[in-house]
Structure 1
Amino acid sequence: MSENTALYAALENQFLTYEELAAVPVEDNGEAMVAIGDGFSGKVFITDRRMTAYTGENIYVRSGLVPMLERAQQELKSILPGCSLEVVYGYRHLDIQHAKFEAHKERLLKEDPTLSGTALKEAVHRFSAVPEVAGHPTGGAVDVRIKDSSVEKLPMGTEVAEYAMDTYTFSPFIAKEAWRNRQLLRCCMLRAGFAPFDGEWWHFSFGDREWAKYYNQPKAIYSQLRFTSEDATGEALTGAAAA
């Protein structure tokens, strides 16, 4: 095993597994889904155009995340006044999550046909969260990056959603500037109350299983949803939008 491979493996050992997340109980609090709008002074940019079929030209999250995102924005502004937080993903429809999961499962099975059961789920989970524990379909997870005053992305070592081990937040193999930017982003999001997923420097969540496990909460408060913009009323969710 090379030194690089060993370091990546050491980082991976810190990530929550599918089984750990599946063991976290969930009791949805019914919090409404809302489009990120005037309550957030940062930027919003849709990177996954597949979501427009479900939520149009908006990014939706649970209502409680909007003031948290604004707090993270203000934390960032206090350190880098010329920069802004940019949200590039929020809610992901379960159909898309299932499609991502199945695509990676098919690829891994071609590489190792002996994988099955929980071992298969764990292997796929490294690349795409198992749908029943995934954060994005709860409306509680966001993917974020930092833009400067010229609307250029600050270097982070990789692009958002790039499949490479250097997406690990603490990868030692990225440039110093990118490392500093990652830690700044992580610090601002944690100060706002989000939990990090350190396998993807851009991914943070609140209310889902990842958040509950990270902060040692007794349960997650957001469950997976089958939501579209037609369901948006600004009121508490009912069974109609739940998976």
Structure 2
Amino acid sequence: MRPYQLITIRECNEPLLPIPPEIFPFVLPHPYEKLGAPYGERSPFYLREGVLKCLLTAQEMLQEKRPGWRIQIFDAYRPIAVQQFMVDYTFRELVQAQGLFLETLTEEQRQGILEQVYEFWAVPSPDPATPPPHSTGSAIDVTLVDETGQPVPMGSPIDEMSPRSFPDHFANSEVPDEQQFHQNRQLLSKIMVMAGFEQHPQEWWHFCLGDQMWAWLVNQKNPDMAAIACYGAVA
């Protein structure tokens, strides 16, 4: 169990609403749907009502700082079944990358690879008290595109399982390109946090608002606040 999963959830029952594609460009085809993730009739481009309002605020702030730039949506709502699919997919990919075979893994190897998987993927828990963040409809993976619609360089792709994914990985670099990566990440983080979101400590692209991780991060900054979560898993 991760520390943020100890946060109390008091579900507010806000609806999931579609993210408007006329305002926010989507990464298409959706990367997890392309792999065969079981969304069924659900869409990954949905957020809780209050979270969507704050995302719109972040977009307005971005326009003030960089006219024509937009927040691009990589992923938002993720059913628990999709979370399980991606955990299983990542596990298989790591097994193959390490020159191993699923059929002959030792228990020690299996546990070691699972630990690597869960460094970047939340456990697909069906327990209402410990939902994966994206399954609440209040976590979102985003990047930026410029006025021409081209991706703004961030120094590493979304979902990369490496130290480059940490938000401040390039903070102390003296390489001009890497300094620009850091500035772009800082811009994304600034507008999202000013709009009410909190940023995942290990992922430059992941932001949340109102879920357990958000409340835990808020409490780390303000120990006297005792924030709780208002979004649980959406079936």
Which TM-score bucket, shorter chain as reference?
0.7 to 0.9
Distance in 1 between the 2:203 and 2:106 partners?
24
Report the CA distance shift for 1:64/1:114 in structure 2 as closer, same or farther (over 3 A): same
1:157 matched residue in structure 2: 155
Paired AA for residue 213 in structure 1: W
Deviates more, 1:77-86 or 1:151-160: 77-86
| CA deviation profile, 1:49-105 (whole Å, cap 9, x unmatched) | 24663325x611101112111111111111111311112211011101012223445
Q: Which residue of 1 aligns with 2:201?
A: 198
Q: Which one of 12, 20, 24 corresponds to residue 7 of structure 2? A: 24
Greater alpha carbon shift after TM alignment, 126-135 vs 76-85: 126-135
Structure-to-structure mapping, 1:42-61, within 5 angstroms: 42-46=24-28, 47-48=30-31, 49=33, 50=37, 53-56=40-43, 59-61=45-47
Task: Report the TM-score when normalising by structure 2.
Answer: 0.77
Aligned residue pairs: how many? 206
Deviation track 1:147-166 (CA, whole Å, cap 9, x = no partner) reads 11111000000112222220
Partner of residue 220, structure 1: 229
Q: Alignment partner of 1:54: what SS? A: coil
Letter matched to residue 13 of structure 2: G
Q: 1:63 aligns with which of 49, 52, 71?
A: 49
Which residue identity lines up with residue 11 of structure 2 in the other structure?
A: D
CA distance in 1, matches of 2:106, 2:4: 24
**Which consecutive unaligned segments of at least 5 residues does structure 2 have?**
126-130, 220-225
Tell me which moved more, 148-157 or 44-53.
44-53
Correspondence for 2:83: 97
In structure 1, distance between residues paired with 2:187 and 2:115: 30
8 Å Cα contact 1:94/1:131 also seen in 2: yes
Secondary structure at the aligned position of 1:68 is classed as helix
Residue type matched to 1:33 in 2?
A: L
User: Do residues 114 (structure 1) and 108 (structure 2) align?
Assistant: yes
Q: Percent identity?
A: 26
Alpha-carbon displacement from aligned partner over 1:123-145 (angstroms, at most 9, x marks no partner): 54202111234211100011111
Q: Distance in 2 between matches of 1:136 and 1:54?
A: 17
Distance (whole Å) between structure 1 residues aligned to residue 108 and residue 38 of structure 2: 34
2:61 matched to 1:79? no
The one-letter code matched in structure 2 to 1:54 is E
Pairwise CA RMSD: 2.7
Change (3 A) 1:159 1:116: closer
What is aligned with 1:128? 121
Does the residue aligned with 1:152 lie in a helix, a strand or coil? Answer: coil
Change in CA separation of 1:112 and 1:103 when aligned onto 2, cut-off 3 Å? farther
